[in-house]
C-alpha cells in the first residue's frame, strides 16, 4: 500500500508540473481530468494486485498449516509407536518365551527333556538303587529351585555340575590295631568321563540352539539400546513440537475445522475480507513457522523409522532361520507348533489381509506414504 501512495504522489507532482508548463507556454493543452482518471485506474489495479497477492499467500498458509500439522501428528504417532516397540516389542515377547525352560512353545518343556535324559543315564549307572534315587532327588530339587528364574543354558550347566560332583559315601570299619578300630568313609564318584560325554552329546542340539537364541536376542537388545541413544534428541524434539502446537490448537479435535475457524474460512469469500489481517495473526504466523521446517523433520523420521525396521527385520530373519534350521532338528520337538510360531511372527511383521491383521511393517509403510503425499502437496504450494 505504501508503494501505491508513493506512486500516487509522484504522478500528481508530474501532472501538476505539466500543467504549470502548459500554462506558461500556452502550447501544451492538457486534460487534467483524463490524467486523474488514468491515475485512479492504475491505483485500483495495484490495489487489486496486492489483494490477490495477500489472498494467494493466505490460501497457501492455510494449506501449509493444515497439511503440516497432519504430518507432525503422524510423525509423532509413528515415533511413539516405534519407541514403544523398542521396550515392548511383540516379536521379542513371542520369542522370549522360547527361552523359558518351562515353555512348550516348541512342543516340549526343556526341563522335561533334561530330566528324561538324566534319568535314563542315571538308571544305567552301576550303583545301588538307593543311590540312584538320591541322585535323582538332587536333580529334582535343583530343577525346582531354578526353573522359575534361570534360563535354559544355566540350568543345563547347573545340572552337569550337580551330576559330576555327585559322590557315594560308603562307611567301613578299619582296624588300626588289635585294640583300635577306626570308622572310615570311602568316597566314590560314579559319574565317569564317558558318562558325562554321553549326556553332553544328547543335550548338545539344545545347547547349540539356546546358545544361538541368546546371541540373537542379545544382538537385538543391544541394537535397540543404541537406537534409543542415537535418536533420543530427535524424540524429545518431536514431543516438544507437538506440545508447542497443542498450546495453540487442540490436536485431539478435527485439525481441518480448527484451522478453518482460525482462518475464518467461512467469511473468506466476502468482498471486504481482510486477508492481510489474517496473515498478521500471531497464532497463524507461529503455526506457519512450526510447519515451514517440515521437510527436515520428515527426513529425520524416515531415518529413525528405517533404522528401527532394519533392526527388527534382522531380528526376524535370524529367528526364522533359527527356528527352521535348528529348532526342527531338536530330538524332542513339535514341527506344527514351530510352524505356527513362524506364522505368528510373520503376521506381527507383515500382517494378514485375510484376517484383517495389519503388520508393523505395513502400518509404517502406510504412514510414510500418507506423510509423503502431504509433503508433495505442500511442495506444489511453493511454486
Tens digits of residue pLDDT in 74-90: 999 999 999 988 877 77
170 or 119, greater pLDDT: 119
pLDDT grade for 36, boundaries at 50, 70 and 90: low
Backbone angles phi, psi at 174, to 5 degrees: -115, 125
The alpha carbon of residue 357 and the mean position of all alpha carbons in its chain are separated, in whole angstroms, by 18
Strand partners, 187: 169
**Cα–Cα distance for residue pair 381/332, rounded to 1 Å:** 64
**Cα–Cα distance for residue pair 98/334, rounded to 1 Å:** 13
pLDDT tens digits, residue range 303-336?
A: 999 999 999 899 889 989 999 999 999 998 999 9
Sign of CA dihedral 36, 42, 43, 44: positive
Task: Please give the average per-residue pLDDT across 343-359, as a whole number.
Answer: 79
Task: Please give the average per-residue pLDDT across 336-345, as a whole number.
Answer: 89
| pLDDT computed for residue 99 by the predictor | 79
**Single pTM value for the model:** 0.75
Is the pLDDT at 38 greater than 50? The verdict is yes
| pLDDT computed for residue 31 by the predictor | 61
Alpha helices in the chain (DSSP H): 2-25, 32-87, 90-96, 110-123, 129-146, 152-164, 193-230, 232-246, 255-263, 275-279, 282-292, 294-325, 335-350, 360-381
Sign of CA dihedral 230, 236, 238, 241: negative
| pLDDT computed for residue 283 by the predictor | 92
Backbone angles phi, psi at 268, to 5 degrees: -70, -15
| pLDDT computed for residue 145 by the predictor | 74
Mean pLDDT check: name the lowest of 15-19, 82-86, 283-287, 312-316: 15-19
295 or 351, greater pLDDT: 295
Backbone angles phi, psi at 70, to 5 degrees: -60, -40
Hey, is 249 helix, strand or coil?
coil
**Cα–Cα distance for residue pair 46/206, rounded to 1 Å:** 85
| pLDDT computed for residue 49 by the predictor | 47
Q: What cell was used for 127? A: 550303583
| pLDDT computed for residue 4 by the predictor | 46
pLDDT tens digits, residue range 182-204?
A: 777 777 888 888 888 998 999 99
The long-range contacts involving 265-273, CB below 8 angstroms and separated by at least 24 positions, are 265/62, 268/58
| pLDDT computed for residue 33 by the predictor | 60
CA angle 231, 236, 239 (to 5 degrees): 125
CA angle 297, 302, 305 (to 5 degrees): 120
| pLDDT computed for residue 2 by the predictor | 46
| pLDDT computed for residue 45 by the predictor | 52
Please say whether the beta carbons of 118 and 163 come within 8 A.
yes
Q: What cell was used for 3? A: 508503494
pLDDT tens digits, residue range 121-167?
A: 888 888 888 888 888 888 888 887 777 667 788 888 888 888 888 88
Query: In sequence order, which residues have a C-beta less than 8 Å from that of residue 357 and are 6 or more positions away?
Result: 347, 351
Maximum distance among all alpha carbons in the chain?
168
**89-98, 223-232, 265-274, 373-382 — most confident range:** 223-232
Q: Percent of the chain scored above 70 by pLDDT?
A: 83
User: Which of 370, 345, 373 shows the shortest CA–CA distance to 359?
Assistant: 345
pLDDT grade for 170, boundaries at 50, 70 and 90: confident
Task: Please give the average per-residue pLDDT across 346-359, as a whole number.
Answer: 77
User: Which of 338, 277, 341, 265 shows the shortest CA–CA distance to 94?
Assistant: 341
Amino acid at each position: 500500500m505504501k508503494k501505491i501512495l508513493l506512486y500516487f504522489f509522484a504522478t500528481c507532482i508530474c501532472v501538476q508540473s505539466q500543467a504549470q508548463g502548459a500554462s506558461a507556454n500556452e502550447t501544451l493543452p492538457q486534460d487534467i481530468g483524463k490524467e486523474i482518471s488514468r491515475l485512479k485506474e492504475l491505483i485500483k489495479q495495484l490495489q487489486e494486485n496486492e489483494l490477490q497477492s495477500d489472498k494467494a499467500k493466505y490460501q497457501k498458509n492455510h494449506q501449509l498449516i493444515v497439511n503440516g500439522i497432519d504430518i507432525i501428528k503422524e510423525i509423532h504417532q509413528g515415533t511413539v509407536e516405534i519407541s514403544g516397540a523398542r521396550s515392548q516389542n511383540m516379536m521379542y515377547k513371542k520369542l522370549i518365551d522360547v527361552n523359558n525352560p518351562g515353555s512348550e512353545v516348541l512342543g516340549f518343556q526343556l526341563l522335561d527333556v533334561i530330566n528324561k535324559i538324566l534319568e535314563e543315564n542315571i538308571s544305567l549307572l552301576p550303583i545301588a538303587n538307593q543311590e540312584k534315587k538320591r541322585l535323582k532327588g538332587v536333580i529334582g530339587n535343583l530343577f525346582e529351585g531354578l526353573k522359575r528364574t534361570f534360563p535354559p543354558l544355566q540350568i543345563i550347566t547347573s545340572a552337569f555340575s550337580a551330576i559330576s560332583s555327585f559322590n557315594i559315601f560308603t562307611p567301613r570299619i578299619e582296624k588300626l590295631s588289635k585294640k583300635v578300630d577306626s570308622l572310615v568313609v570311602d568316597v566314590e564318584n560314579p559319574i565317569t568321563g564317558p558318562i558325562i560325554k554321553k549326556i553332553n552329546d544328547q543335550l548338545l542340539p539344545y545347547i547349540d540352539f539356546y546358545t544361538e537364541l541368546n546371541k540373537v536376542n542379545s544382538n537385538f537388545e543391544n541394537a535397540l539400546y543404541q537406537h534409543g541413544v542415537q535418536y533420543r534428541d530427535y524424540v524429545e524434539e518431536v514431543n516438544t513440537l507437538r506440545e508447542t502446537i497443542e498450546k495453540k490448537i487442540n490436536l485431539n479435535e478435527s485439525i481441518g475445522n480448527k484451522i478453518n475457524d482460525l482462518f475464518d474460512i467461512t467469511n473468506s469469500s466476502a468482498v471486504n475480507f481482510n486477508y492481510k489481517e489474517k496473515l498478521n495473526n500471531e497464532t497463524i504466523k507461529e503455526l506457519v513457522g512450526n510447519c515451514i521446517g517440515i521437510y527436515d523433520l520428515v527426513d529425520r523420521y524416515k531415518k529413525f523409522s528405517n533404522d528401527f525396521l532394519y533392526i527388527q527385520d534382522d531380528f526376524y530373519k535370524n529367528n526364522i532361520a533359527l527356528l527352521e534350521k535348528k529348532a526342527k532338528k531338536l530330538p524332542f520337538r513339535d514341527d506344527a507348533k514351530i510352524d505356527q510360531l513362524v506364522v505368528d511372527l510373520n503376521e506381527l511383521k507383515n500382517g494378514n489381509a485375510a484376517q484383517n491383521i495389519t503388520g508393523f511393517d505395513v502400518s509404517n509403510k502406510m504412514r510414510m506414504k500418507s506423510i509423503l503425499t502431504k509433503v508433495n502437496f505442500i511442495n506444489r504450494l511453493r511454486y
